[in-house]
Amino acid sequence: MHFNYPNGKRFFSNNQLKPIKRKDLNISYGKRGMTLEEDLNETNQYYLSRGIAVIHKKPTPIQIVNVDYPKRSAAVIREAYFKQASTTDYNGIYKGKYIDFEAKETKLTTAFPLKNFHEHQIQHMEQVLEQDGICFVILRFSSSEEVYFFEAHYLLSYWERMKNGGRKSITKEEIKQNGLYIPLGLQPRLDYIKIIDQLYDF
């Protein structure tokens, strides 16, 4: 299955310069980040059901152009296009404030690679901050199951460092220093709203 951007260029994964195959999709969007995504979706449902906040995962707009029907009851997508470059994973509203954030995880133990982010995502975060929105990233170290709330302005500064020839990752110590640890709970699973209350005045 091939995915293409609106300009017709083939979409490539971050780690491999080759067309995305179905097995790659399962790795990129299934196993990798699945636990974090499930935890955040459960958390957002908890907030919604109790009237705390309205925050949803953004769907990725895809236009399907080639479908096979091997069986009457099943369809197989052979080719599709991203209608537009995705921005961040989640957005919504809390206490009248616009909330926008990205969720990422890594198997590395001592640093978080900046290649996990894209230029258009960085630009989007800058635009959200310019409009006085609350923007951040939730970073997970999968090997230790540690999750951190990391404000976007810190991410932007490390991105700028990389563009100026600096390291291509954020060290775990830098994340601990500038971010806030989110403990895993039952209800909600990852209470990032509690951290927003600590950091921002409403």
pLDDT digits (tens, 9 = 90+) for 136-154: 999 999 999 999 999 999 9
Residue 162 has pLDDT above 90, yes or no: yes
Which residue has better confidence, 109 or 25? 109
Which residue has better confidence, 132 or 78? 132
Average pLDDT over residues 24-52: 74
> Angle at which helices 119-130 and 152-163 pack, to 10 degrees?
130
**Structure confidence at residue 9 (pLDDT):** 55
Task: Return the CATH number of the domain spanning residue range 2-199.
Answer: 3.40.1350.10
**pLDDT-derived band at 23, boundaries 50, 70, 90:** very low
> Secondary structure of the chain: what % helix, strand, coil (to 5)?
35, 35, 35
CA distance 155 to 75: 41
At residue 45, φ and ψ (nearest 5 deg) are -65, -35
**Structure confidence at residue 27 (pLDDT):** 35
Domain ranges of the chain: 2-199
Average pLDDT over residues 81-107: 87
pTM (2 decimals)? 0.74
**Structure confidence at residue 25 (pLDDT):** 40
DSSP sequence for 80-114: EEESS----SEEEEETTEEEEEEEEEES-SSEEEG
**Structure confidence at residue 78 (pLDDT):** 74
**Structure confidence at residue 125 (pLDDT):** 97
**Structure confidence at residue 18 (pLDDT):** 40
User: What does the pLDDT look like over 178-194, one tens digit per residue?
Assistant: 999 999 998 999 999 99
* Residue 187 DSSP label: S
Q: Is 40 within 8 Å of 138 (Cβ atoms)?
A: yes
